[in-house]
Structure 1
Amino acid sequence: MSDPKPLPFVYQFLSGAIAGVSEILVMYPLDVVKTRIQLQVGSGANAEYTGIVDCVTKIVKNEGFSRLYRGISAPILMEAPKRATKFAANDEWGKFYRNAFGVQSMTQSLAVLTGATAGATESFVVVPFELVKIRLQDKSSKYSGMGDVVKQIVKKEGVLSLYNGLEATLWRHIWWNAGYFGVIFQVRSLLPKTESSTQKTANDLLSGAIGGTVGTILNTPFDVVKSRIQNTVKVPGVVPKYNWTLPSLLLVTKEEGFSALYKGFLPKVLRLGPGGGILLVVFTTCMDFFRTLQ
């Protein structure tokens, strides 16, 4: 497989931004459901939400339909730089590694390495937005909006607390992007060569959905503890229950069982599986369009 014609960074950034906003507008309610389920400590009969349908029903009934879009302002503002950084960093790191290792085209191992590095790069952009989103999505949230979250965090916890959960976010994004881009490369290589734009779109949708599913399987435990860490209000002199990733993984497993590390997996994979396909289709479509302008 030959690599497509490279484009300047600005086109990669714009394509990633458009892809990210498109995905969030379609799939956001599932993200709210995922966060609610991840934040609840009980399980089984003691759980407030027993599944996706139950969670959506209770949110709409008790809090109103608009609550399914609670906190979307932060993701909307985040999605452009987040997804733009994801795809642009993946392309730029891919160029760097190909030059560094002296290879002409991408390989399976380079696709995984490039994805992991792009995920780490992306993490530094998204942490404050993720923190605001988690605080707004929590059922007990008393914040009036995105600005109020930032104001209260800075006032009560300090400016650096806007990066609370950075370590967990790094783990989450490294694993997701390594799985996502690594699987996309492998699936694309196995699919028949496309003869039309319709076939190309179908291939991108399939490979992106599979990549998103694998990435979600790999990173969900880190996402669970990230949500717990970021929803914890830091109090001076008090060590948070959830503070660092690996100890938090062990703590959740000890107190709630291994399956608790996959709380919210179904709504997450329903979002990021198809969402991964949407991301790839929109991104590649935009990139193809920009190539016609060159």
Structure 2
Amino acid sequence: TADKVWTCALLPAKLINGGIAGMVGVTCVFPIDLAKTRLQNQRSGQQIYKNMMDCLVKTVKSEGYFGMYRGAAVNLTLVTPEKAIKLAANDFFRHTLSKDSGKLTVVKEMLAGCCAGMCQVIVTTPMEMLKIQLQDAGRLGKTIWSFMRVSAIQITRELLRTKGVTGLYRGLGATLMRDIPFSVVYFPLFAHVHQLGQHLSEEPSVPFYWSFMSGCLAGSIAAVAVSPCDVVKTRLQSLKKGANEETYSGVVDCIRKILRKEGPGAFLKGASCRALVIAPLFGIAQVVYFVGVGEFLLGYTPYNICSA
């Protein structure tokens, strides 16, 4: 059956595509992601960095070139399953929801994106939790974090020792609040923009550059749309605070305190950085995905997929 073919043949290839795409994308844009995290964690009146470029320049001066890649190892390790789950899950749910009618309505596309966003947080939450601690260490100045080489393994052990597995899933609600709307906006938007690149209705293939542009456009729009949720998530997942930086008991408390002390504009901190991170990340991801690297590595061709 078609379901058996998709599961046995295409799913492993889609997982490989998502994993490779995530690793390539993260390597390219990680310094901008680091700047985004540090800008989001800045409080009004305690600004160390003026903008993204100022943050990157100061990071290189104080921490060296590799300081821009602080936390990259954990991200590269976990982005493979994260992107694999996100992209493959969306494909799976789109396939499942289109079985009866043979086509997808916008509502079904959004539902597929929603399901994909819910699936990915299993990996996204601990990945973001660990990454943020490492990325934000340099911003905190001369604290204990500056005098010891804190690794993701050390942070994980400490969290498991003090708070158990739930410690790694701090900010889960905020992560869901960010990733579900992102996927709901991104995947339908990408699908429709990508479809515009088809020159002939009977020829489904699209030029690789159009896949890249479609991923960039849809990714940047979705990233800016959910940027306030990303700020809340970053604040909640930052364990170490600077002098006079408040703590938050949850999503509602975080939103309330940010509004009262920093104003609505604080929810857009790092929005441009996030757009610059997500746009090429998903552009690269979609190129790898649609070129079919996974299918090539597994030796699949249109013929043996159909005859599986």
Using the size of structure 2 for normalisation, the TM-score is 0.84
How many Å apart are 1:199 and its aligned residue?
5.5
Q: CA RMSD in A?
A: 2.4
Q: Give the match for residue 237 of structure 1.
A: none
User: Contact between 1:30 and 1:271, CA under 8 Å: does it hold in 2?
Assistant: yes
Q: Distance in 2 between matches of 1:167 and 1:112?
A: 20
What's the offset of the Cα at 1:220? Answer: 1.0
> 1:120–1:187: structure 2 CA closer, same or farther, 3 Å change rule?
same
User: Is 1:67–2:74 an aligned residue pair?
Assistant: no
Distance 1:61 1:198, change over 3 A: farther
Check the 8 A contact 2:117/2:183 in 1, yes or no.
Answer: yes
| Structure 1: distance between partners of 2:70 and 2:63 | 10
Distance 2:194 2:41 in 1: 36
Identity of matched residues, %: 29
Taking the TM superposition and a 5 Å limit, the aligned residue runs for 1:45-56 are: 46-56=46-56
Report the residue type matching 1:157 in the other structure.
K
Q: Does 1:202 align with 2:205?
A: no
Q: 2:254 aligns with which of 231, 236, 248?
A: 248
**Using the alignment, how far apart are the partners of 2:70 and 2:239 within structure 1?**
19
Report the Cα offset of residue 116 of structure 1: 1.6
Residues 160 and 199 (structure 1 numbering): CA distance in 2 closer, same or farther, change over 3 Å? closer
The residue type equivalent to 1:41 in the other structure is R
Question: In structure 2, do the counterparts of structure 1 residues 212 and 194 end up closer, same or farther at CA, with 3 Å as the change threshold?
Answer: farther
Are 2:169 and 1:171 equivalent residues in the alignment? no
Distance 1:285 1:50 in 2: 40
Q: 1:128 is matched with which residue?
A: 126
Aligned counterpart for 2:135 among listed residues 134, 137, 140: 137
State whether structure 2 residue 276 is matched by structure 1 residue 274.
no
Measure the CA separation in 2 of the matches of 1:76 and 1:215: 22
Structure 1 CA distance for aligned equivalents of residues 205 and 64 of structure 2: 39
C-alpha distance in 2, partners of 1:128/1:143?
20
**Who is 1:92 aligned against?**
92
The alpha-carbon deviation at position 158 of structure 1 amounts to: 3.1
Structure-2 separation of matches of 1:270 and 1:130? 18
Deviation at 1:233, TM superposition (A): 5.9
Please say if residues 25 and 280 of structure 2, whose CA atoms lie closer than 8 Å, have aligned partners that are also in contact: no
**Counterpart in 1 of 2:165?**
159
User: CA separation in 2, counterparts of 1:52 and 1:282?
Assistant: 28
TM-score between both structures, scaled by the size of structure 1: 0.88
For 1:80-119, what aligned pairs fall within 5 Å after superposition? Answer: 80-99=80-99, 102-119=100-117
Q: Return the offset for 1:250.
A: 3.1
Which of 10, 32, 35 lines up with 1:33 in the alignment?
35
Residues 13-63 of structure 1 deviation map (CA, whole Å, 9 limit, x = unaligned): 1111111111011111111111111111126xx411110110001101111
Give the match for residue 290 of structure 2: 284
Residues 10 and 295, structure 2, Cα contact 8 Å, conserved in 1? no
- Could you tell me how far 1:245 is from its partner in structure 2? 2.4
User: Over residues 211-253 of structure 1, what are the superposed CA-to-partner deviations in whole Å (9 max), with x where a residue is unaligned?
Assistant: 101110122111111111111369xxxxx83233244223212
Deviates most, 176-185 or 190-199: 190-199
Say which SS state the counterpart of residue 8 (structure 1) adopts. helix
Moved more, 158-167 or 28-37: 158-167
Q: Is the 8 A contact 1:108 1:185 kept in 2?
A: no
Shift of 1:126: 1.7
User: 1-side partners of 2:48 and 2:204: how far apart?
Assistant: 46
User: Displacement, 1:192?
Assistant: 4.6
Cross-structure match for 1:220? 227
Cα distance in 2, alignment partners of residues 191 and 16 from structure 1: 22
Q: Which runs of 5+ in 2 are unaligned?
A: none
1:11 to 13, 23, 29: 13
Q: Are the equivalent residues in 2 in contact too, given 1:42–1:48 (CA < 8 A)?
A: no
